[in-house]
């Protein structure tokens, strides 16, 4: 039994793909600068403080505020370790070490997050899990919020 599958083969005459020149790539990087991971971490900490204040004010219990703040820190502290680990000199030697470094620091980030969540009942007196989870979720959402509100360098070009 023979089956034939249609395979789309790239046709060099119909392709609209054109590689960027070095100058075009430089201009593209200037128009779309990279987001600093420290900007995201600062946003996570600020959001954590705000959520803690709201939780404390809403419930009138200081335990809810500490729980929400600890929840936000379970996202911010491992993210800071991850960002710092990726800035090390070994993570930028070549592509292989960069990938290994990324995976290693991602595992460290996950392990620290899980360890902080497991240690929460011992470290936070009067722990309130809903407040902790609210702080954690808000801090995790800061990846998106920080990318929208990140300071950008304005580049004006003539069209």
Tens digits of residue pLDDT in 37-93: 888 899 999 999 999 999 999 999 999 999 999 999 999 999 999 999 888 776 667
Q: How confident is the model at residue 158 (pLDDT cuts 50, 70, 90)?
A: very low
Residue 73 token pair? 């820190």
Q: What is the pTM of this model?
A: 0.74
**pLDDT tens-digit readout, 104-134:** 999 999 999 999 999 999 999 999 999 999 9
First to last CA, the chain: 58
Distance, in Å, from the CA atom of 72 to the CA atom of 50, rounded to the nearest integer, reads 10
Residue 157's pLDDT is 44
Nearest Cα residue to 134 out of 30, 78, 56: 56
Q: What is residue 127's predicted lDDT score, i.e. its pLDDT?
A: 94
pLDDT of residue 108: 95
């Amino acid at each position: 039994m023979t089956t034939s599958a249609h395979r789309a083969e790239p046709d060099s005459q119909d392709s609209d793909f054109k590689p960027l020149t070095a100058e075009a790539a430089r201009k593209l990087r200037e128009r779309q600068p990279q987001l600093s991971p420290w900007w995201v971490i600062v946003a996570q900490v600020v959001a954590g403080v705000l959520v803690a204040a709201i939780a404390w004010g809403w419930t009138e219990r200081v335990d809810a505020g500490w729980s929400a703040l600890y929840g936000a820190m379970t996202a911010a502290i491992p993210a800071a370790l991850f960002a710092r680990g990726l800035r090390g000199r070994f993570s930028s030697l070549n592509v292989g070490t960069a990938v290994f470094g990324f995976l290693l620091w991602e595992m460290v980030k996950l392990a620290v997050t899980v360890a902080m969540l497991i240690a929460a009942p011992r470290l936070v007196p009067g722990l309130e899990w809903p407040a902790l989870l609210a702080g954690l979720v808000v801090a995790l959402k800061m990846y998106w919020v920080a990318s929208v509100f990140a300071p950008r360098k304005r580049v004006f070009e003539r069209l």
